Amino acid sequence: MVDSTAPGVVPGLLRHAAFLRLWLSGLFAETAEWMLQVALPVYVYQATGSAGSTALVMVTGIVPMLLVSPAAGMIADRFDRRRVLMVVCLAQAAVSAPLLFGGQQAVIYLVMAAQSALASLFEPTRNALVPALVGADRLASANGLMGFNSSVARLAGSSLGGLVLGVWGLGWVIAGYLAALVIAALLLVPRFGVHVEAVRADVGGWLDGVRAFRDPALRATGVSLALIALGQGMFLVLFVVFVTGPLHGGDADVGLLRGIQAVGGVGAGLLIAAVANRVSAVRMMGLGILTLGLCSALVWNLPHLTVTFWLYVVLFAAVGAPAVVAQSAALTAVQLRAPDEQVGRVLAAVYAGFAGLQTVGTLLAGFLVGVVGLDVLLDVQAGMLVAAGIAALLRRK
């Protein structure tokens, strides 16, 4: 048994050859995804001048994920997870290749839909594979390193997507995207040498991932995640209104404050990897969500005192830290409770449910902001996060 509280747990994970390859593969794949997510909506807006067309690109990247998630969970539980990840990376590259020869709007919609469907396979499969590679004693630290990856990928991919598009055009964005995905796939070619690589026999239907939430512990985690999803959906709308309204910011300020959150996430990911196994996943999740809610309440109400922009840059960078803590801990809590033969379907159900409720939160905020006012909705959003954190902390296990 590995001493998960030892200072060397992080170097130990990075010396774990199979986990290191999975970790690096995820870094390249997520960086590629952020490049495309940033570049394509901007490209469409520049080409059409239509905010509606730009929004349609974003929606096209969400709906297929909801539709494919049930099948994604079954695939993650039934087949060799390493091979599934490798095939997903290569398939994403293949369906995006036509954009090398021009970005017709209809083609962009098709590519975004295909990318979303394939991405819904990647996340549950990768996160179902991690426990089998590192064991329960190092799982929280491994998820911390994955959270670090996500923050670095967000910073690098977003910056590269915008920079390369502006300087060299969409073709070079796609070339970089394809190269990153091919590298991600090549890292997954050698076998991991763990038992989950064997092809499974029939493992039941996709609804098993939903039925797993009959477990009181999983159900309680699900309640906290539902509140977070609704709050996150509200944030996507309210954040833009907040920056352009009370802070008197412009489009560039919106982009800066949204992207700067990844800075706090980078540090938090490394911290989680070093110390996470000393604290229960549920308690860490509760502390992360509660801190995020309290920080959100502070930021939303601070314009009554000052609108000094640099102060908000610092605060939004700091807010990224508890967000990554909450995300990594929630993932660990689900992985530890779900049986290995069902973990793919359970995670797929979580991702689909989160995306669906996030969409509900976005629509509600968009409708209600003109009815009840921005200040009220901002406080409601922060209050939902605080309630989710307290609910998690009140659990015994």
Cβ of 48: how many Cβ atoms within 10 Å? 12
Side-chain half-sphere of 152: how many Cα atoms within 13 Å?
A: 15
Domain pair 1-192 / 206-397, same fold: yes
Lowest mean pLDDT among 13-22, 315-324, 334-343, 368-377: 334-343
Answer whether residue 107 shows pLDDT above 80.
Answer: yes
Band of residue 67 on the pLDDT scale cut at 50, 70, 90: confident
Residue 202 and residue 273: Cα distance in Å, rounded? 35
pLDDT per residue over 114-157, tens digit each?
A: 888 888 888 889 988 998 888 888 888 888 888 888 888 888 88
> Are 369 and 237 spatial neighbours (Cβ–Cβ below 8 Å)?
yes
Residue 90 and residue 144: Cα distance in Å, rounded? 26
Residues of the chain above pLDDT 70, percent: 86
**Superfamily per CATH, domain 1-192:** MFS general substrate transporter like domains (1.20.1250.20)
pLDDT per residue over 186-239, tens digit each?
A: 999 998 876 554 445 445 566 777 777 888 888 888 888 999 989 988 887 788
- The domain ranges of the chain are 1-192, 206-397
pLDDT at 264: 81
**pTM of the entire structure?**
0.77
Cβ of 343: how many Cβ atoms within 10 Å? 29
In 218-330, the DSSP E strands lie at none
Identify the CATH number of the domain defined by range 206-397.
1.20.1250.20
Lowest mean pLDDT among 162-171, 193-202, 230-239, 356-365: 193-202
